Structure 1
């Protein structure tokens, strides 16, 4: 997220809490440095900016990814939406009603562009729980009215029944794993 925000804001953020770099790193002999303050990172036509992210796990699980900024698309028009859908989901009915009330307060006075972004985030960015409802409207007023109806109890909340259980097999990666550790489970459990 930090690299994506740096692309968007055209700014390299400062590295926090570095008072003195490691003496064994010879920065003066390399093109590298520690950014101790925010630095401009403007776009250069024809040369995409790239940022690297490294993660080093305790058990030796390491990851490195290089991100490249997306291309600028000229002349792209915003397609108007005919209606907006906001999904509200929680582990209980009261949770759905509280969340719908919070959404209604947050969306009061939001323009149509913000409504589309909000709906996308609510629909895609949040987990699906057993209790849920979807509210639609052609504008912010309609969506807020629907959310308010859910919040005050005048609109019912659905409940998912008989959902198939989901099994997940996880290994922590903290160094306790060994080759063949799940061989017995693999031999007797068809799903695994």
Structure 2
């Protein structure tokens, strides 16, 4: 690593942001499996696209098809999975994009490490705070049932802990809010922070 030096490019993040007429940021969606992270993130990306924003959605399942295809689900592999995603998100922020990252990311230390690796103010923690009971009712993939039967080990919320954010930038409960309401709250937050321009 001693011989590796970060290459400063002629075009920097601020120039890319100005060109795209937005502020780059990572919205990090965290919550239990089935909480609605990917659904809300996808709907938000669609709403941002309609406003002309430049975005990219990083989803937990998708990155394991390529970027993290060599990783399993041990504690070490799951942490490495998040480290890689955080690094990619950082590059996308440098490109001037609004990055939506939907990952369980159960440990505070994991989320804090990603926040620390990004420039100040470029990490927005979105806690999709849907209850375990509601997530189990949905159980779209049948994962909770398998975890309860012991067929899946180290499953977050059942046999592994989930450390809920104590002071997230925004808290959404998809059992109480409609998808449209969740998206509207996120758009308002982005407007208030100057990430996107308010609609006239």
Shared fold, TM over 0.5: no
With a CA cutoff of 8 Å and minimum separation of 6, indicate the structure with the bigger relative contact order. Answer: 2
Larger Rg: 1
The TM-score with structure 2 as length reference comes to 0.23
The TM-score with structure 1 as length reference comes to 0.23
Whose strand fraction is larger, Structure 1's or Structure 2's? Answer: 1
